[in-house]
Homo-oligomer: A and B are copies of this chain.
């Protein structure tokens, strides 16, 4: 099955998985609070170990005092396009968690993975709501922890930029080529019945 954006799935899936992608051309449009809350709400319903919900989202909206602080955490190459998004987000995950039957919190084995599921749902809901989310590891992790007062019990995971994508048809040809959604390795390299084999 093929998506209008040029991607092809080898097995029939819901079209939203192909439609979601990480653009670099954004319009600079601001986001309503209602849309922002809807996008975070989807992340809220992600599954997690013991329902520990270790994800926390720190964010800055464009045209607000914290915007520049967040934007300046990104490497210059990411600032170049992220400046035209509507919301910048730092996703962090809580390392310790309480579990039934233990008096003191234990270290979560899956706090990063759980945060990844939440990020994945955020990205899908953004797409469903007419926005697009783009994740980055290209930002200053140490400075993020310091400047945003993030406690040691949280791991800084990724930065996100969420904005309104420029319709590819409106882009000049050189930029249009850069906005082509990427592909994937064949599924045979990702799944294996039984033991691992290279």
Contacts and interface: CB of A to CB of B under 8 A. Distances in A.
Interface of A: 7, 9-14, 17-18, 20-22, 34, 37-38, 40-47, 49, 51, 53, 55-61, 64, 66, 92, 109-110, 112-121, 123-125, 128, 135, 137, 141, 147-151, 154, 157-158, 182, 184-185, 187, 190-198
Contacts of A109: 137, 141
A23 to B, nearest CB: 12
A2 to B, nearest CB: 13
Contacts of A185: 44, 53
Contacts of A115: 113, 116
B45 A17 contact: yes
